A and B are shown apart, each in its own frame.
Chain A
């Protein structure tokens, strides 16, 4: 074959090269660190279309010659290192976790008005947790109050000296005794007990009795 004809065949590998360049996996065009920044998930076409309407083409009606999958990728809102690892892990699963807290709480104390508080180091994250729990309760049709029962400074000092698993039942008795939680009201507490865990616990305080529900 005359040498100049070889140049006509140069574009032949282009589709392959473009596919490799477009692949979010680490390789020639992307480092491992860059690949890990993306949160990707392999889904069915129907689920991908539901999550990203208008962006995923329908499969051909007669099927395709090639076996295809849909991978949805998104860049997280916060870059790696901007938040603490534990905070990031807790907030990443907040949608699912808050639904679980609300489900367990509603089953433990149906028909009450809920007060919510989050016991987590870091006020910003604690606020997010409490808000998510309130929204989840409302979505389940529960009545929610914005008021958070508080304790006197002396009570807090005593409770701070106790083991966490003993402190919450005591706090619950004090809230009820002080009138912070009258009859027909309950408190959902979202609690971090150990700094090494990333799944929070949920407890319900009702009529002076504390019960762990998750």
Chain B
């Protein structure tokens, strides 16, 4: 087989390997997600708290994804001792009215709404990637903005945050191979970027920030209850 044919077959094979899904996703926390916290998620943080979580679908977030977010949040706070109900709908019918016992737990309402913005790799980026048999990666990215609102039972706003994060997707055998080699040679476990480390890092940041926000809101609700006859209705924190 001639040299040029061998090179051609090698290029095709590399291209095939690249197209079969050699993708590295990297997570970068932006606004709010890497802020230090004073409270880590752990059992018993929210004993005696009832939490109604609403995960709102949007143009860029389908209902199935919103339900997945709600399941994750329910597990997060149920593991920390809270009684959690979830819904992907707004309005009075979203949650069933529950019977009030003699000592009803403190109830908070958590609204989560996300929007995403995806930027695909430009045409010339794909051309360079394919031209180099995916040794040079094609780079796409997705930026998400997560709005979080916490209210008490009467609707008073106790806490509001907007978090941003970014997932950068590198498609190509060259970049993925290099990252894999670095992960398995010089990097510590915390610094690894391949496989599902991006998702794990994001989940950890999201869980910590959400736990801190709900704790702050709970403290605020308990403090304002001390006022008699009721809290000052001045509109609450500016979102």
Residues of A within 8 A of B (CB): 12-13, 16-17, 19-20, 23-28, 31-33, 35-36, 39-42, 65-69, 71, 85-86, 88-89, 92, 96, 99-100, 103-104, 107-108, 165, 193-199, 201, 211-214
Q: Which residues of A contact B236 (CB under 8 A)?
A: 214
How near does chain A come to B43, taking the closest CB pair, in angstroms?
14
Contact of B128 among A13, A28, A32, A92 (CB under 8 A): A13
Judge whether B30 and A69 touch: CB under 8 Å: no
19 further A-B pairs in the complex, CB-CB below 8 A; given A13-B132, A16-B136, A67-B120: A16-B128, A16-B139, A20-B139, A27-B170, A28-B178, A28-B179, A40-B31, A42-B166, A65-B122, A67-B119, A85-B38, A88-B35, A89-B37, A100-B238, A196-B39, A199-B219, A211-B227, A212-B224, A214-B220
Please tell me if the beta carbons of B137 and A16 are within 8 angstroms of each other in the complex: yes
B62 interface residue (CB < 8 Å to A): no
Q: Given that A32-B193, A85-B36, A99-B238 are contacting pairs, would A26 and B28 also be in contact in the complex, using a CB cutoff of 8 Å?
A: yes
Given contacts A13-B128, A27-B193, A199-B220, contact A85 B234 (CB under 8 A): no
Task: Decide: A24 near B139, CB < 8 A? Known: A96-B238, A104-B232.
Answer: no
CA distance A23 to B226 in the complex (A): 49
CB within 8 Å of A: which B177-202 residues: 178-179, 182, 190-191, 193, 201
Q: Are A26 and B166 in contact (CB under 8 A)?
A: no
Asked if A194 contacts B219 (CB within 8 A), the reply is: yes
CA distance A200 to B98 in the complex (A): 32
A196:B38 contact, CB within 8 angstroms: yes
Instruction: Report the nearest A residue to B233, measured CB to CB.
Output: A107
> B219, A104: Cβ atoms under 8 Å?
no
Could you jot down 15 A-B contacts, CB within 8 Å? A16-B125, A26-B191, A28-B179, A28-B182, A35-B28, A36-B29, A41-B164, A42-B31, A89-B36, A96-B237, A103-B235, A165-B226, A197-B38, A197-B216, A213-B234
Q: Bound complex: CA of A24 vs CA of B182, how far in Å?
A: 19
Task: Tell me whether B131 and A12 are in contact (CB under 8 A).
Answer: yes
- Checking A13, A17, A39, A198 against B31 with a beta-carbon cut-off of 8 angstroms, the contacting residue is A39
